[in-house]
């Protein structure tokens, strides 16, 4: 990709369980990482599995919080509160994006 080509949008889904400390930390950490590393290029969808428990089975979510990168493909998943920025970037294959 050349420097003049626009970078692809990043579509993320964060699966949480209500307003637990881990869920709230994951939301804050994800927003911070995206603002710092992908300003203006990201879209975050929050999915509360307490409100929609059937989505856990439908989307193969086995632990929460779980972050899923929908775009760019391939899909990547990362579990935890997302407090380690480098781990999040590497886990989602977003280093140098």
**For 37-50, what is the mean pLDDT?**
95
pLDDT at 2 over 50: no
Contact 63, 38 (CB under 8 A): no
**Residue 74 in domain:** yes
**Residue 87 in domain:** yes
**Residue 54 in domain:** yes
Work out the angle at residue 27's Cα, subtended by the Cα atoms of residues 88 and 92, and round it to the nearest 5 degrees. Answer: 20
**Residue 97 in domain:** no
Average pLDDT over all residues of the chain: 90
Tokens found for residue 35: 């603002």
Contact 76, 69 (CB under 8 A): yes
Q: Which of 5-19, 47-61, 75-89 has the lowest mean pLDDT?
A: 5-19
**Residue 96 in domain:** no
For the question of whether the overall pTM of this predicted structure is more than 0.75, the answer is: yes
**Residue 5 in domain:** no
Predicted confidence at residue 97, as pLDDT, reads 52
Task: Count the domains in the chain.
Answer: 1
pLDDT at 48 over 70: yes
Find the CATH number of the domain harbouring 82.
3.40.30.10
Q: Which residues contact 42 (CB under 8 A, 6 or more apart)?
A: 9, 10, 11, 12, 34
Tokens found for residue 16: 């949480």
Query: Which residues span the domain enclosing 70?
Result: 10-91
**Residue 3 in domain:** no
Predicted confidence at residue 31, as pLDDT, reads 97
pLDDT at 60 over 90: yes
**Residue 1 in domain:** no
């Amino acid at each position: 990709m050349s420097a003049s080509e626009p970078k692809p949008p990043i579509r993320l889904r964060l699966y949480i369980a209500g307003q637990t400390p881990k869920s709230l930390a994951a939301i804050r950490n994800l927003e911070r990482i995206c603002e710092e590393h992908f300003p203006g290029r990201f879209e975050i969808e929050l999915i509360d599995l307490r409100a929609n428990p059937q989505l856990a089975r439908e989307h193969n979510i086995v632990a929460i919080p779980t972050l899923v990168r929908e775009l760019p493909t391939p899909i990547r998943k990362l579990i935890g509160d997302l407090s380690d920025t480098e781990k999040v970037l590497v886990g989602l294959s977003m280093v140098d994006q």
